[in-house]
């Protein structure tokens, strides 16, 4: 691998490879952010659904008592 690295032109080693690594790191970062945002959004949806269900149950119990 070191021989392959040394065989690359200096402009590839000094310019192209760091730019490619930066692009890959950027894509990985935003993929992780997207996954975390998706999980948080799903959790919020579940909490809202549970809250609405709790309100409906409470209102039905109050209506049944009346």
Over residues 19-38, mean pLDDT:
98
50 has pLDDT over 90: yes
Contacts of 8 (CB under 8 A, 6+ apart): 17
Flag whether the pTM goes above 0.95: no
Contacts of 13 (CB under 8 A, 6+ apart): 5
pLDDT the model gives residue 66: 78
In degrees, to the nearest 5, what angle opens at C-alpha 45 toward C-alphas 62 and 41?
160
């Amino acid at each position: 691998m070191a021989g392959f690295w040394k065989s690359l032109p200096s402009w590839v080693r000094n310019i192209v490879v760091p730019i490619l690594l930066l692009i890959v790191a950027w894509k990985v970062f935003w993929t992780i952010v997207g996954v975390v945002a998706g999980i948080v959004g799903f959790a919020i949806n579940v909490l809202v659904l549970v809250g609405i269900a709790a309100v409906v149950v409470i209102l039905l119990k109050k209506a049944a008592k009346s």
